Each structure stands twice: as C-alpha cells, then as structure tokens.
Amino acid sequence: MPRTMPTRKTKTATASKAPAQQQTTVSLETDSFFPFARYTSLVGVHTSLLAFSALLLPTTPTSLLLKGVSIIPSSGRDAATQPRRDVVQVLTENPVRTVAWICAGVLILQGWWASWVKTWSLDMRSTAKTAATLNNAEATKQKLERKGGSYEQIVVRILEAIPQSVRNDRTLLQVFGKAAAMTVMASMLFHVVAVLFGAPISSHPLHTYMMSLLLAILTVLPPAYTLGVPSLGSDSPSLVSRLTWIRLFAELSPRNPVERALVYPAIGAMIGCWAGAIPIGLDWERPWQAWPLTPAFGAVGGCIAGSLIALVVSAILAFAQVDRQAQQAQAQAGIAKKS
C-alpha cells in the first residue's frame, strides 16, 4: 500500500501554527508577569494615599478631637474670636502625635500594598511554572486538552487557580503576624541606628521610636509579607529565603518587577529619611524643624519616589522585552514561510 506524503500546504499550515501558538503563550506570560495597567493605577492610588497620610491625616477632625479641639464651627462672636489653625501649625505642635497618625495610615496602606504585591508574586511564580510545563511538554498539552477547553483557556484557568489554592485566611494571618513581628524588631534596630547617628538618647525617646517605627513599616513590612520572614534553618527553603533577602537588600540587585516594587521604595525611604534630617541642623528655628518631622516626611516622600521609579523602570524593561519577543516571532514566521 503506497504511503501518502505530506503536502507542502500541510507543512506550511503546521509551520504557521507554531509561531501563532508561541506568540499567544508569550502574550499570556507577559500580561501575567507585568500587569501594566493595573500596576500603574495601584501605584497612583498608593502613592496618593501615602501623601494624604503624611500631610492631611494628622489634621483630620478625628485627630483634632483627640487633641481636644472642637470640629463644629461656632457662630457669631465665638466664630470671630476662635483662632484659625493652619495645617503647618497642627502638624508641628505635637510631633509625636503627627508621626503616630502617619504610622497608623501608612500601616494600613502598606498592608494593602503588600497583599497585592504578594498576589502578584504568586501569579508570576505560577505563570513561570505553567509556561515551562505547557511550552516544553507536548504530551501535557494534549492531556489537558482532552479534559476540555482550548489551549488558551487552560492556561488562563491554571493562572487563576494556582494562586487561589494557596490563599487561606489562617495562612495569610500567620504570614502577616510574622511580618508584623519582624517589623517591630526592625523598628528597634532602626531606633538604635538612629541614636548612633546622633538622635537624642534620653530627651526624645518616643519621638525617635515613632520615626523608627514609620521607617520599618515603609521598608520592612511589604518584603517581609511578600517574600516571607528569613529563618536560620538549614533546609533549602530557608537558604533560598536568606539568599533572596541578601541579594535584594544587601546587593541591591532586583531581577523582576515584583522585586523592584519592594526594593526601590525601601531604598527611597531610607535615603529620604537620611536627607530629611539635614534641615534639623540648620539654625532657622522654624516649627517644622522639630524632631522627627523632617525625617518622617522625608521617608514617606522617598518611598513615593521609589515606587514611581520602580514603575517607570519595570515598564521600560517590560516593553523592551515585548518588542524583542515580537521581533523574534516575526523572524521565526519569516523563516517558516521561506521553508
């Protein structure tokens, strides 16, 4: 019985199908690794609320009520005789209260931001594992397709299902508790470092600690919740966790957008806090030079700047990667047509 040879049309269809399938997989991987639209919107909301927590939250009616100031405007003679209080006066009259309110607002925002970054990190890990499995194993693809659904639907289903399997309330609470404990320990370490750098030892201990707590919330809480608290164990996960922390915060070498979203704001907060201490040494005798207002506002401003820089750098690198992948796909499509 003569054996039928494949026609040129069949070869061309098979060759053109492979680049299309590869391009679909690349686009799915890129969208999951760097959700540009969502990331940009969340960074805008996060940085705006950080600025609100630093500048306006300590002057809200709730904080003024705790201070004993009436929020109900008086009428007649009382309204005329009541002194007007500007924002600078409210922020500078009690530095401890101001920094405490900033810590409260920043704690809520950083907890929300860390939860989203952790979700993004889980999505990225599951995408990498899924892409490696589906791209390198044709048998796995055929097995999944027999269970129902197209190739693209199966990829999207796995990307959505894998992170959900590791999200339960008890685990998240335990991880957040460990991250909070590490944040408190880091605040004590920052307090000692601030004293060694010249902060008052006995005259303003609460002022220094509130500034240290704010710096710890900005720099330690998000990576501790996202990456996990490093342990001193000898097993492989503990070793990988320690090496990751060393690579990110000692070598300062983030490799993906998630790591840049954790490292750059932390570096910005540190630099902003250090730079914010410079105006205190000037002999201007202004109310806003009170310790530790300028380091606290500098830390928040540096964190905001770091978040924006991380967004810009990650976007540029992601778009450059998409362009390279598109050029490679076009080159492979051209080779397939010639053959």
Report the pLDDT value the prediction gives residue 237, as an integer from 0 to 100: 85
What is the model's pLDDT at position 54? Answer: 93
- Tens digits of residue pLDDT in 279-292: 988 888 888 999 99
By CB atoms closer than 10 A (0-12, 13-18, 19+), residue 14 is exposed
DSSP state, residue 196: H
Taking residue 93's Cβ as centre, other Cβ atoms within 10 Å add up to: 13
For the chain, give the percent of residues with pLDDT over 90. 46
With 70 as the cut, is the pLDDT of residue 8 above it?
Answer: no
- Top pLDDT among 311 and 149 is at 311
- Which pLDDT band holds residue 13 (cuts at 50, 70, 90)? very low
65-69, 89-93, 205-209, 258-262: range with lowest mean pLDDT = 65-69
Q: What is the pLDDT of residue 16?
A: 45
Q: What is the mean pLDDT of the chain?
A: 79
Confidence of residue 338 (pLDDT cuts 50, 70, 90): confident
Report pLDDT for 257. Answer: 93
135-181, pLDDT tens digit by residue?
555 555 555 555 555 555 555 554 444 444 444 556 778 889 999 99
The helix/strand count (H/E) of the chain reads as: 14, 0
Instruction: Please state the pTM of the whole predicted model.
Output: 0.77
pLDDT digits 0-9 by tens, 184-215: 999 999 999 999 998 888 889 999 999 999 99
State the Cα–Cα distance between residues 280 and 213, nearest whole angstrom: 20
Residues 222-242 have pLDDT tens digits of 999 999 999 888 888 889 999
When comparing pLDDT for 102 and 93, which is higher? Answer: 102
pLDDT in tens, 98-109: 999 999 999 999
* pLDDT at residue 310 greater than cutoff 60: yes
Q: How far apart are the first and last CA of the chain?
A: 29
**Which two structure tokens, joined as six digits, stand for 235?**
């097993």
Answer yes or no: is pLDDT of 65 > 70: no
Most confident option among 54-58, 121-125, 140-144, 294-298: 294-298
23 pLDDT above the threshold of 60: no
CA 136 to CA 107: how far, in whole Å? Answer: 43
Place of tokens 């969340």: 42
